[in-house]
Amino acid sequence: MGLYLNPGNRAFQISVNDDLYIDKSGLISFTNSRLDTQRRYICVSRPRRFGKSMAAEMLLAYYDKTCCSDMLFQNLQISTDRTYRQNLNKYDVIYLDIQQILGDAEGIENFILYLQKEVINELNEKYPNIIKTNETSLPKALATVFSKIDSPFKGFIIIIDEWDCIFREAKNNFASQKKYLDFLKNLFKGRTYIKLAYMTGILPIKKYGSHSAINIFDEFSMTDPAMLAEYVGFTENEVISLCEKYDMDFDEMQYWYNGYTFDKNICIYNPKSVIDAVTRKNYRSYWTRTETYEALKIYIDMNFNGLKDDIIKMIGGNKIKISVDTFQNDMTTFAAKDDVLTLLVHLGYLAYNYDRREIFIPNHEIQEEFITAVETSNWNEVVKSIRISDALLTATLELDEETVAKVIDEIHMNTISILQYNDENSLSCVISLAYYSARNNYIMHREFPTGKGFADIVFIPKKNTDKPAIVIELKWDKTANSAINQIKNNFYTKSLEIYSGEIILVGINYNRKSKKHECILEKVYIT
């Protein structure tokens, strides 16, 4: 057992020992299906705190030939797979934590030489008198061992965790980045000694020109997780089970940490935040202030045309269409706002719907991070709007139509320099932003489905809150009265099946000539 060659199953054992461990061993069925095939190169990218390292440690524990891991897996999903025993603890595994190695190498300039020397030394210990004494090339050393060993399980499984660390730690050291990619290309491409290659990182593989420098890898990312979507984080069923086991409110868990929605209607929750909430019995933002938090502050202040507009719309609850295709998979090369927004998807600050090509803020936890970033980024107009939103909610609950219209006018004036205010959709964004403080006591729904269409905005009170529900209908160059009539005529209130009690109906109209908002408020009851 070595540091890099066959490190054993200890790390995964620690994970399985935890009462809160969630079984993700189904991933092994997928990697087994790729083992020793043309599609044996896999790169999985996802944000920090989404279980990348745990998945890599699980694969290490499963494949490493120097340990016996049956006791760890016998009660997990993979144990029923037909390939389970066929591949369990059968292979030499090289496990490389790039972040750790980069630190041990004491500098990026020495990194590749250090990595190769350390792994070759361990290969010499396990397979003495095979590799040339002066060999410094890891690919050549692996090829030599492979050619000399006669075994049905010969060959190497290479697992690289935090593969993209160099692109984050040394953002502007392009020479070292290129050298590192060339090393990886030489390590993997065309090498028959590879039984399986599995890399994890935050970023997809770096592009140079129009092609990736390592084009043999099948990539699964936050913009296209494909069949690995359920392994990005916790699924809804997994979170429901945790909530039932530990007596947690699922609705609150959903509100705080859900929102990464992929194809096939798979809803993914932030796993680290869910675990923290269960452990502490408290729902709040557990987003760690890492380099990615600093990136949020830095990148939202970039002066790309329309970037601020899009971010404010998303804080207001809108979804924004973008193209993710031009992103160069690094943290410095940006040609337009879509590249910045795509990076924020990979960092976990935005969710991406592949079918619709839309991005949005996924949940309340991330919403709070955006607000914190905006408050420290001198977006004074938005900060003013958020700070007076308490007054708007109070006026709404008191049926004070004049004050509601006045506060909305003020918030509109605060954001007019950022937002293009030219249709009902932009009006909806301003109103969502205006009622921002309501989210402390309410769950906000945009385009809430009803029997006859969609209500523009609906606020459902959280549990243990004594406030009434709020249904808002918006009009552009019409009348507030027509908005109220639409709520009544389309029976919007009857769609609130999960709620009974008081409901405040809010009709808002914006008049482009007067540049004023008008408001009508009514209170009704449903049982």
Q: State whether 491 and 439 are in the same domain.
A: yes
Classified as helix, coil or strand, 123 is helix
Q: With contact defined as beta carbons under 8 Å apart, do 76 and 23 qualify?
A: yes
Residue type, 362: P
Total domains in the chain come to 3
In angstroms, the CA 368 to CA 474 distance is: 26
Domain limit, last residue, from 168, 189, 220: 220
In angstroms, the CA 485 to CA 472 distance is: 12
| Residue 3 is assigned to a structural domain of this protein | no
Q: State whether 299 and 416 are in the same domain.
A: no
Report the CATH number at residue 45: 3.40.50
In angstroms, the CA 199 to CA 466 distance is: 50
| Residue 118 is assigned to a structural domain of this protein | yes
| Residue 225 is assigned to a structural domain of this protein | no
Q: State whether 149 and 248 are in the same domain.
A: no
In angstroms, the CA 236 to CA 266 distance is: 8
Q: State whether 322 and 401 are in the same domain.
A: no
In angstroms, the CA 153 to CA 75 distance is: 25
Domain limit, last residue, from 333, 363, 378: 378
Report the CATH number at residue 419: 3.40.1350
**Per-residue pLDDT, 55:** 96
Q: State whether 34 and 181 are in the same domain.
A: yes
In angstroms, the CA 362 to CA 348 distance is: 9
| Residue 2 is assigned to a structural domain of this protein | no
**Per-residue pLDDT, 289:** 54
Alpha helices in 127-235 (DSSP H): 138-148, 165-169, 174-188
- Stretches where the chain sits below pLDDT 50 are 210
Q: Which helix (H) or strand (E) holds 505?
A: strand 501-511
Q: Which two tokens stand for residue 523?
A: 């209170």
**Per-residue pLDDT, 295:** 66
| Residue 453 is assigned to a structural domain of this protein | yes
Q: With contact defined as beta carbons under 8 Å apart, do 175 and 156 qualify?
A: no
**Per-residue pLDDT, 515:** 87
Q: State whether 184 and 296 are in the same domain.
A: no
Per residue in 435-449, pLDDT (tens digit) is 888 888 888 888 776
| Residue 179 is assigned to a structural domain of this protein | yes
Q: State whether 251 and 157 are in the same domain.
A: no
Q: State whether 185 and 250 are in the same domain.
A: no
**Per-residue pLDDT, 451:** 61
Per residue in 23-63, pLDDT (tens digit) is 999 999 999 999 999 999 999 999 988 999 999 999 999 99
Query: φ, ψ for residue 288 (rounded to 5)?
Result: -75, 140
Q: State whether 188 and 301 are in the same domain.
A: no
Q: Which domain holds residue 495?
A: 379-527
Q: State whether 103 and 190 are in the same domain.
A: yes
Q: Which of 411, 461, 455 is nearest to 440 (CA)?
A: 461
Domain limit, last residue, from 185, 220, 255: 220
**Per-residue pLDDT, 498:** 67
Strands 469-476 vs 453-461: parallel, antiparallel or unpaired: antiparallel
Sheet containing 267-269, strands listed edge to edge, beginning at the edge strand earlier in sequence: 234-235, 267-269, 260-261
**Per-residue pLDDT, 195:** 97
In angstroms, the CA 184 to CA 509 distance is: 59
| Residue 40 is assigned to a structural domain of this protein | yes
**Per-residue pLDDT, 211:** 53
In angstroms, the CA 61 to CA 17 distance is: 14
Of the chain, the end-to-end C-alpha distance in Å amounts to 67
Per residue in 99-111, pLDDT (tens digit) is 999 999 988 889 9
Q: State whether 339 and 435 are in the same domain.
A: no
Which residues are paired to 160 by β-bridges? 96, 199
Q: State whether 460 and 325 are in the same domain.
A: no
